[in-house]
Structure 1
Amino acid sequence: MFDVLIRGGTIVDGTGNVGFKGDVAIEADRLKILVGDTSSVQAANTIDASGCIVAPGFIDVHTHSDLIALSEPLNEPKIMQGICTEIVGLDGIGYAPLSKKNLEMMLLLYSGVDGRPKLDYNWSSVAEYLQQFRHKTSANIAYLVPNGCLRAEAVGWEGRPAAEDEIRKMQDMIRQGMAQGAIGLSTGLQYPPGSWATTDELVELCKTVAECGGVYVTHVRYDLGDGVFDGFREALRIGIRSGCPVHISHYFATIPLRGQTARMLQFVDDARASGVDLTFDAYPYEAGSTTMHIAVPQWAHNGGPHELLRRLQNRNDRDRMRGQSSKILGQIEGMVISAVKTEKNKWCEGLTVAATADRLNKDPWDTVCDLMIEEDLEVAFYTFGGDMNDVKVMITHPAHMFCSDGLRIGGMPNPRTYGTYPKILGQLVRDERVLTMEQAIRKMTSFPAQRFGLRDRGILRDGMKADIVVFDPVTVSGVATFANPKQFPLGIEYVFVNGKMVVEKGKHTGALPGEPLTMRGYVGRI
């Protein structure tokens, strides 16, 4: 007798093939596909999936749940979308491997991305960090070693090239981190201390990643050279010289690239035709979001977060920073404040910098600087840098996969935190027919599982892990909006993670079956 039998649905198995009628049985943490007359099949729990689609659990390849998935273990913003696996450690930002001192500095500097929830923070290695998630959160977690952690440990917090012995130390840390369960290396080449890495340094690190079978995942250096394509060209050079597969994070038409999607996709096609193993992700929204201090020039970060705060308080340094923000941000006045730490500034959430400055009777740049000081850098924002018409073109490319890239902090987050995957299935598949259902589900399941080596995930096939989503294709939708972002989606009826029911009839069951994943299976099997 099976533990669960999901009966009468249409199975869209994640391969991209058309759906078919069948039943899905779960025994322990594995699944089995049943076809034909299954009336005699017995199960402890039978679910009527008539009219629903049964799909593999969705994989979110770019998230910022590094800490909040531990402090808020139900992980409802993600699990209620059908996301069964999250990849963390993106943008060169993360919290292992790190010494206690550098962990404290990273927590301060990136509190505007991950918050600073009340946790024990009793880890230092990748293995110790990953074990924090075992059966302590609803979804599975896979980890990329952030180059920011490597630089903090090997080089420190100074904006200078790494010496040869420091590069060797970082390579050793990659080998150790991947042996302990990491699936590759990430960079965020606008986020110190990782942003101070040179191209040559990254080539050497990626040679090690390639040796270990991992992937290089990069938030590129957007302001490099022409400020348009040169950051992407650097990523390709790193891949070519190192032999490492390259994955570009949130590859979409930012302000300098609006209307140039044909050129962007031709760039991908040309790279792949030349032999570069290149893929990319993009989210289905026109707004990006991140920590407020991305508006600060790189030199102001030299020495670490405490030095940054000191410079923000110094009038001469503050004035020198003015007007030096990244071109992809546009005008700082249009940035919408999405998260602050203190109650006294909660009124700012949901307002633009311009509106906030007007209420305070302050200059916009001074408003930004003062907020970062008052909030100890725990300030986030979103800004409308893209265009949905461009997004709809980018997501049709076969080398594209979906992500949310959603921040989990603050009262007014970008709605993609709560709505990405149901929005795709409802608006972009059902309503606008930008993709077929099978194409969209492949980009959420088997394609990311293949890319990041997450074996036993991403496909509904006999013997695979029972990460499963059951949703109603008629009602599924992401209802979160910029005005009201913290709304759970409609139409996600059941979610199973490692064979355990986590969502039942649209409600969280309280189950915490999440596991740390590696390219070879569970961390415990290394």
Structure 2
Amino acid sequence: MYDLAIREGMIIDFENNSIFVGDIGIKGGKIVDVGRCNGNAKKVINAEGLIVSPGFVDIHMHEEVIGNSVDGDDYDIGNNMLRMGVTTAVGGNCGNNRQDIKEFLDFVDHNGAPINYLTFIGHNFLRNSLAIDPYRKATEIEIQKMKDMVKEYIESDNAIGISFGIEYSPGITFREMVGLCNDIEDNILLSSHYRGDADKSIDSIKEMIEISRVTKKPMQISHIGSCSAMGYMDESLDLIEVAIGEGLDIAADCYPYNAFSTRIGSAVFDEGCFETWNKSYDSILLTEEPYKGIYCDEELFYKVRKEYPDMYAVAFVMNEEEVIDALKASFVFVASDGMLNKGQGHPRAAGTFPKVLGKYVRDDNRLDLTDALKKMTLLPAQRLGLRNKGDIQVGMDGDIVIFNPATIIDQATFTEPTKPPIGIEYVIIDGKIALERNNVVNNRLGKSIRRNQLSL
């Protein structure tokens, strides 16, 4: 008897790039049958007319501190991830961890979580732990100390690799980044937030490619839309394609919005940023009280930078067509960059995957459904070494999202950033129902996933 049977669903078949109507049988958290499953089941889902996909794998999100949600839960972002079909996600991106990795993963192990979590160790986190000013380069002694810390976090705490947040610490040097990658495990993943965007994006892309070339380690270029979607996307994508053709292991991710978000006190908003973007102060939307929903003028911009440096701000500086170009590239995955501060911030944390499927696949016909789903599931799973996730095959983990292709769409906005999507009918994690007809029924099915469990 199956623990769970999904009947008559439109099942995604990546191997044949097709969709077929069939059943899925799940037992013991694993997919045990695909096709026609005639056995009895403890629970049956009628998925007629619905797409049955692997659970979405978000390779770039920012749940770095647990226990600070405004709704009294321990997970500020994971609950929103679950509601939009994400079953596994990666934190510690852009060089940032704001909580000790062991503490974070142990909490997940002991308490469960809305989704499964992996994490990088962030370079900027290491710098902060040594009190290195963001605007100065590290000394050789400091680099060695950080290298020792990286080794410990990867070998003992099972971080999946190193993330760099170059723009956030302008003093970071190429030598420093490469130095951290020496004498550590080969089978780790690097990811990087660029050094600069817009007219600095091409040199930034080249630098990230060169890090991969020198270290001989795979590089995941973070949120390429916010790097290059200001007139430089074609050249950026061409650079990556050439590097891949040379044998380098380079990929990127992108979220489906024409605005980025980060803390307004960060180096991203340092002097000269508006000239770089060819925008003005009124392109910046504030997301938290006492200025929630207000666009800046010059006076307010500098006031908030000084008095509320940790406030998340949204910068409308990207071109949508270039974001779409990125999402269409074969080596670019869909990822949310999901980041909230007590429920406030950018809607990408609650809307990314439904927006791609509802707007860019169904309504605008800019992306093929199977290709889009592959960018949300199989490709990031393979990138992370998650050999049992990202596909619907016998033996794979029972992590599945079932959605209505006719109705799925995001509802999160820049003023209501956590408004849940519609059209997500079921989310299944480890063979158990976590969300049913848009309602969360169990948000503690997720587990920690550590490097020693991966096949990198």
When normalised by structure 1's length, the TM-score is 0.79
User: Residue 217 of structure 2 corresponds to which residue in structure 1?
Assistant: 244
Deviations 1:284-317 (A, max 9, x none): 11111110012577xxxxxxxxxxxxxxxxxxxx
Q: Structure 1 residues 415, 324: closer, same or farther in 2, change over 3 A?
A: closer
User: Residue 64 of structure 1 corresponds to which residue in structure 2?
Assistant: 62
Partner of residue 40 from structure 2, selected from 42, 50, 59? 42
User: Residue 175 of structure 1 corresponds to which residue in structure 2?
Assistant: 151
Matched, 1:136 2:109: no
Structure 2 counterpart of 1:333, which letter?
D
**Does structure 2 retain, via aligned residues, the 8 Å contact 1:16–1:439?**
no
Counterparts of 1:13 and 1:132, CA distance in 2: 35
Counterparts of 1:188 and 1:20, CA distance in 2: 42
Higher helix share: 1
Structure 1 counterpart of 2:418, which letter?
K
**Matched residue of 2:94: which SS?**
helix
Shift of 1:270: 1.1
Structure 2 counterpart of 1:271, which letter?
A
Structure 2 counterpart of 1:338, which letter?
T
User: Residue 361 of structure 1 corresponds to which residue in structure 2?
Assistant: none
Counterparts of 1:286 and 1:511, CA distance in 2: 31
User: Residue 368 of structure 1 corresponds to which residue in structure 2?
Assistant: 301
Q: Structure 1 residues 80, 296: closer, same or farther in 2, change over 3 A?
A: closer
**Matched residue of 2:63: which SS?**
coil
When normalised by structure 2's length, the TM-score is 0.91
Deviations 1:238-291 (A, max 9, x none): 11111111111011265x753443222211111111222110001111111110
Structure 2 counterpart of 1:444, which letter?
M
Deviations 1:444-487 (A, max 9, x none): 11111111112311111212211110111111111223354332
Shift of 1:33: 2.8
**Does structure 2 retain, via aligned residues, the 8 Å contact 1:25–1:34?**
yes
**Does structure 2 retain, via aligned residues, the 8 Å contact 1:144–1:183?**
yes
**Does structure 2 retain, via aligned residues, the 8 Å contact 1:14–1:441?**
no
**Does structure 2 retain, via aligned residues, the 8 Å contact 1:69–1:137?**
no
Structure 1 counterpart of 2:94, which letter?
D
**Matched residue of 2:256: which SS?**
coil
Q: Structure 1 residues 479, 294: closer, same or farther in 2, change over 3 A?
A: same
Shift of 1:218: 0.5
Counterparts of 2:267 and 2:147, CA distance in 1: 31
Shift of 1:68: 4.7
Equivalences for 1:396-415 in 2 at 5 Å? 396-409=328-341, 413-415=345-347
**Does structure 2 retain, via aligned residues, the 8 Å contact 1:145–1:184?**
yes
**Matched residue of 2:108: which SS?**
coil
Deviations 1:480-521 (A, max 9, x none): 233543321111000011222110121000330111112442
| Identical aligned residues as a percent | 30
Counterparts of 1:162 and 1:502, CA distance in 2: 45
RMSD: 2.5
User: Residue 261 of structure 2 corresponds to which residue in structure 1?
Assistant: 289
**Does structure 2 retain, via aligned residues, the 8 Å contact 1:253–1:260?**
no
User: Residue 270 of structure 1 corresponds to which residue in structure 2?
Assistant: 242
User: Residue 282 of structure 2 corresponds to which residue in structure 1?
Assistant: 333
Shift of 1:141: 0.7
Equivalences for 1:455-470 in 2 at 5 Å? 455-470=387-402
**Matched residue of 2:182: which SS?**
helix
Q: Structure 1 residues 432, 275: closer, same or farther in 2, change over 3 A?
A: same
Q: Structure 1 residues 35, 434: closer, same or farther in 2, change over 3 A?
A: same
Deviations 1:47-105 (A, max 9, x none): 10111111111011111222257743463321110001111111111135xxxxxxxxx
Q: Structure 1 residues 455, 520: closer, same or farther in 2, change over 3 A?
A: farther
Structure 2 counterpart of 1:219, which letter?
H
Q: Structure 1 residues 262, 157: closer, same or farther in 2, change over 3 A?
A: closer
Partner of residue 292 from structure 2, selected from 349, 355, 379? 349
Partner of residue 88 from structure 2, selected from 76, 85, 88? 85
Counterparts of 1:131 and 1:336, CA distance in 2: 36
**Does structure 2 retain, via aligned residues, the 8 Å contact 1:207–1:243?**
no
Structure 2 counterpart of 1:279, which letter?
A
**Does structure 1 retain, via aligned residues, the 8 Å contact 2:225–2:318?**
yes
Counterparts of 1:257 and 1:56, CA distance in 2: 29
**Matched residue of 2:153: which SS?**
helix
**Matched residue of 1:423: which SS?**
helix
Matched, 1:95 2:98: yes
**Does structure 1 retain, via aligned residues, the 8 Å contact 2:388–2:397?**
yes
User: Residue 232 of structure 1 corresponds to which residue in structure 2?
Assistant: 205
User: Residue 201 of structure 1 corresponds to which residue in structure 2?
Assistant: 176
Deviations 1:211-250 (A, max 9, x none): 34111100110069x6231111111111111111111101
Counterparts of 1:483 and 1:154, CA distance in 2: 37
| Structure of higher CA gyration radius | 1
Q: Structure 1 residues 223, 334: closer, same or farther in 2, change over 3 A?
A: closer
Shift of 1:391: 1.4
Shift of 1:425: 1.1
**Does structure 2 retain, via aligned residues, the 8 Å contact 1:215–1:246?**
yes
Counterparts of 2:16 and 2:232, CA distance in 1: 28
**Matched residue of 1:196: which SS?**
coil
Counterparts of 2:165 and 2:14, CA distance in 1: 30
User: Residue 258 of structure 1 corresponds to which residue in structure 2?
Assistant: 230
User: Residue 141 of structure 2 corresponds to which residue in structure 1?
Assistant: 165
User: Residue 488 of structure 1 corresponds to which residue in structure 2?
Assistant: 420
Shift of 1:169: 2.3
Shift of 1:420: 0.8
Deviations 1:329-384 (A, max 9, x none): 843332000124xxxx1xx2111012xxxxxxxxx2x4234334444x33111111
Counterparts of 2:281 and 2:163, CA distance in 1: 27
Stretch of structure 1 that moved more, 4-13 or 129-138: 129-138
**Does structure 2 retain, via aligned residues, the 8 Å contact 1:339–1:349?**
yes
Q: Structure 1 residues 382, 253: closer, same or farther in 2, change over 3 A?
A: closer
User: Residue 102 of structure 2 corresponds to which residue in structure 1?
Assistant: 127
Equivalences for 1:410-449 in 2 at 5 Å? 413-449=345-381
Structure 1 counterpart of 2:221, which letter?
I
Counterparts of 2:287 and 2:14, CA distance in 1: 34
Counterparts of 1:239 and 1:371, CA distance in 2: 37
**Matched residue of 1:19: which SS?**
strand
Counterparts of 1:266 and 1:158, CA distance in 2: 31
Structure 2 counterpart of 1:47, which letter?
I
Equivalences for 1:12-27 in 2 at 5 Å? 12-13=12-13, 17-27=17-27
